[in-house]
């Protein structure tokens, strides 16, 4: 019961790593509020995880909606102990694609902007809304979803990699700025993880992911959730500004 009665917010909690994290935290007696843009999936996830988990439809790119969500949680629950900035999307494309010396395709500006809005600005929005409450209550924990590609890059993911590298940078800045208020800030950098989105990829792609992972398998969402649990718990009370790789020893290829 490492998180007994602690109030936890998890963005992008309807599926994948967010859902697994909500379930894992519920096992440790936390009180969890997940948010997602998908109302149907979010409500179903909360119901499936039991009475300790509730759902609110929130778009993390909407600052006013985020602020209203956080303020409402504090009004009803009294505090926010842990924020897990998990919400994220992908829109993969090469920067430019050339065939026969001619430009045939490039990453659309709209896709670049959208991924930055969700994966990077969304983390900023949620953290900025939560931090004043954490300062007032005397502390808290902020956990940010990065990725190993934010450390090493990845072919065809200019936008996604930019956000995950940016999350690492913000994590380190916030650890410096907020430590004086007893707020710990860390990032988790998963490797290839068997979420619903990933498992829908062609088998050949999945085989490549396993081949690049020395442990010979992909992570399960619960593997990542366990890392979040450790960093949220008092066992990690002197860890801040860290980037924890949960990647099975991944060697990133192209």
Catalytic residues: 160
Tell me which residue has tokens 């969890």.
Answer: 32
φ, ψ at 131 (rounded to 5°) = -55, -45
Q: How far is residue 184 from each of residues 112, 134, 199, measured CA to CA in Å?
A: 30, 10, 33
- Any idea how long the chain is? 254
Q: At 65, is the secondary structure helix, strand, or coil?
A: helix
Q: Where are the alpha helices (DSSP H) in 88-202?
A: 109-116, 122-137, 149-152, 158-178, 196-199
In whole angstroms, give the CA distance from residue 60 to residue 79: 20
Mode of pairing for the β-strands spanning 243-246 and 183-190: parallel
């Amino acid at each position: 019961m490492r998180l007994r009665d602690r109030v936890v917010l998890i963005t992008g909690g309807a599926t994948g790593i967010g859902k697994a994290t909500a379930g894992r935290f519920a096992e440790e007696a936390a009180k969890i509020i997940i948010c997602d843009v998908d109302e149907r999936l979010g409500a179903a996830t909360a119901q499936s995880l039991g009475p300790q988990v509730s759902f609110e439809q929130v778009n993390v790119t909407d600052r006013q909606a985020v602020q209203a969500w956080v303020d409402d949680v504090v009004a009803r629950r009294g505090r926010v102990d842990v924020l897990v900035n998990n919400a994220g999307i992908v829109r993969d494309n090469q920067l430019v694609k050339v065939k026969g010396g001619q430009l045939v395709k490039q990453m659309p500006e709209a896709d670049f902007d959208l991924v930055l809005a969700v994966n990077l600005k969304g983390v900023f929005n949620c953290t900025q809304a939560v931090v004043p409450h954490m300062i007032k209550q005397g502390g808290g924990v902020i956990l940010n979803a990065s990725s190993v590609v934010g450390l090493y890059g990845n072919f065809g993911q200019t936008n996604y990699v930019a956000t995950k590298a940016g999350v690492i940078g913000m994590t380190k800045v916030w650890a410096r700025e907020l430590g004086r208020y007893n707020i710990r800030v860390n990032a988790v950098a998963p490797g290839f993880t068997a979420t619903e989105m990933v498992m829908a990829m062609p088998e050949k792609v999945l085989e490549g992911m396993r081949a690049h992972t020395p442990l010979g398998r992909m992570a399960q969402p619960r593997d990542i959730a366990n890392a979040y649990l450790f960093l949220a718990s008092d066992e990690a009370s002197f860890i801040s500004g860290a980037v924890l790789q949960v990647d099975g020893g991944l060697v990133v290829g192209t």
